[in-house]
Amino acid sequence: MATIIQVAAVAGVSTATVSRALTRPDRVTPDTRLRVMEAVDRLNYRPNVAARSLRTLRAAKILLTVPDISNPFFAHVIRGAEEAARDAGYSMVLGDTRHDAQVEDQYAQMLSCREVDGLVFLGHRLPASLVPLVAAGGEGAGPPIVNGCEYSSDLPVPSVHIDNAAAARDGVAHLLALGHRAIGIVTGPPISPISRDRQAGAAAVAHGLSVRVGDYSARSGFEQAGALIAEGATAIFCFNDEMAMGAVGAVAAAGLSCPGDVSVMGFDDLPPARYFQPALTTIAQPKGLIGRRAVELLLGLLDGRPLPERRVTLAHELVVRGSTGPAPA
């Protein structure tokens, strides 16, 4: 097995430079990093992570907690986060909290006990056991904790998200432009900040919206859309794609057509959305980029670097496909 000394000899640099190129690439020149990586590939070198952890008192692991691992949206966020962690020489530990505050605290103990170096949580709630740690950190660099997706101004940690209110405004404006006035929305649970923000954004551009509460599952989309159709809705905006797919099923179950009788749009732009029948109009989120940027913020905290911004708002996009059309005459 190749050693770091051999890598350094082939690359023509010191062992310290090899270590920096692998763990702190921002501290070496691009040319030097290229030579080191070529030597690493040629010799098939694998760093001794355990030894490095002992020297640096770091676990070389990042914990990422997700509120519902069965939700396909999070799979794309997780992949982006894992790629960013791996690029920086960290392993990813994944925890499924199932919206349970007690489980969130159990995972948070891994950070308190230094089993992991940092935490990215994708839920809306800072684990209670970490509140004193965050409060002690103030508004400076702070402890290595970052939120992704479910932004709330109440969370005193860096975060990566989209502007959910603006995205919902864009969605409802699209339906209004098609002539729809009887518009129903299927929200997520009201405890979620993103659900509240999206509802507020939708209400800002259309009055008299019929509101039904779902749980982000296709089944809830089917059930709540059925109720909205019975009320006479000609357009239904669901706050995720899974519920929107269920809503399209509810239109068919009512003996109606989508979009001829009822238009349906979703949120997230999951890969199946473009292949669904009809192809789903939706709001696209940069899912993988959310995960990547969250880990990049966390790495900045771990390295003690000042963050250029603590609240990173990424761009969304309205993607118009076949599930929305003009309001019926």
200 and 270 share a domain? yes
**pLDDT of 25 strictly over 80:** no
Say whether both 197 and 305 belong to one domain: no
Is pLDDT at 26 greater than 50 in this prediction?
yes
Q: Which of 36-40, 105-109, 112-116, 301-305 is most confident?
A: 105-109
CATH number at residue 266: 3.40.50.2300
In this predicted model, what pLDDT tens digit does every residue of 121-140 receive, in sequence order?
A: 999 999 998 998 888 765 55
326 part of a folded domain: no
Q: Are residues 153 and 70 in the same domain?
A: yes
Residues 293 and 152 in one domain: yes
Strands (E) in 144-251, as ranges, are 145-148, 159-162, 183-187, 210-213, 235-238
Q: Which residues pair with 317 in a beta bridge?
A: 284
| pLDDT of the residue at 6 | 85
117, 144 Cβ separation under 8 angstroms: yes
Q: Considering the entire predicted model, what is its pTM?
A: 0.81
Q: Tally Cβ neighbours within 10 Å of residue 183.
A: 23
Considering its fold, how many domains does the chain have in total?
Answer: 3
Q: Can you tell me the distance from the alpha carbon of 199 to that of 197, in angstroms, rounded to the nearest whole number?
A: 5
Domain ranges, residue 65: 61-158+287-310
- The confidence band for 55, taking pLDDT boundaries of 50, 70 and 90, is very low
319 in a structural domain: no
Same domain, 86 and 26: no
